Amino acid sequence: MPTKDTNEFKILLNLFEQAETKIKNVEQITSEGVLIPSINQLRYAGHHIVRSLLSDDAKEPQAERVKAINHVKRAIYDIDESLLIYYIESAVNFKEKYNDSGFVTEVVTDYPEKLATLDEANKSIQQLRENNNNYQDREQFYQKLSPYLIKLSKIVAIFEQSAPLIVKKQQDKDDQDLKNKNCFIGTIILSIILGIPSIIGIIVALK
């Protein structure tokens, strides 16, 4: 096999391994549905690889390998895009659901700072997207995006761990409030019951 062909297959192998690692990571983090675009890209890549191996045309195999490489790169970009959307949506959902809870700052250490980090990451990502030079060069765009994905992943992991603790604390408080309310009502009723003989005595005396 010519050296150029060998190098292209090595590039393909390396990209497939990167995509496989990212897909496994995403499967552990979120639902499999977000992986469909990436998996489709890998299917297209596989199709081009087979065409390159079966072609009798001297020029076609190299062209098919280039197409395969581009599809695998796109699969990697789609995975990162899916992760980015997942992290942002998860963080926003947590904020909307628990921001007004009196327990969020108690459970989540440095909660205001984490929200500030989220806002900063969102603004930076938007700036990257608005820069046409960055966004047209997808590889460059996702290289610059990588640090923000790491920051978001850490914050979202903390939020996901904190959510059930906040719910439990809120439920415990609600249960205690209900218990206190029932005790208060019971005390009033008991006071009324105990006070009835005295009231009757007063009425009899007045007669």
Q: pLDDT digit string (tens) for 55-83?
A: 777 777 888 888 888 888 888 888 887 88
- DSSP 3-state of 105: helix
Nearest Cα neighbor of 86 from 135, 165, 149 is 149
DSSP label at residue 33: G
| Rounded Cα–Cα distance for residues 6 and 59 (Å) | 15
Residue of 186, 159, 5 whose CA lies nearest to 92: 159
Helix (H) or strand (E) holding 21: helix 3-29
Q: Enumerate the domain spans of the chain.
A: 3-206
Write down the pLDDT at residue 155.
92
Tell me the whole-structure pTM to 2 decimals: 0.64
What average pLDDT does this structure show over 155-180?
86
pLDDT at 9: 76
- End-to-end C-alpha distance for the chain, whole angstroms: 120
Higher pLDDT, 42 or 36: 42
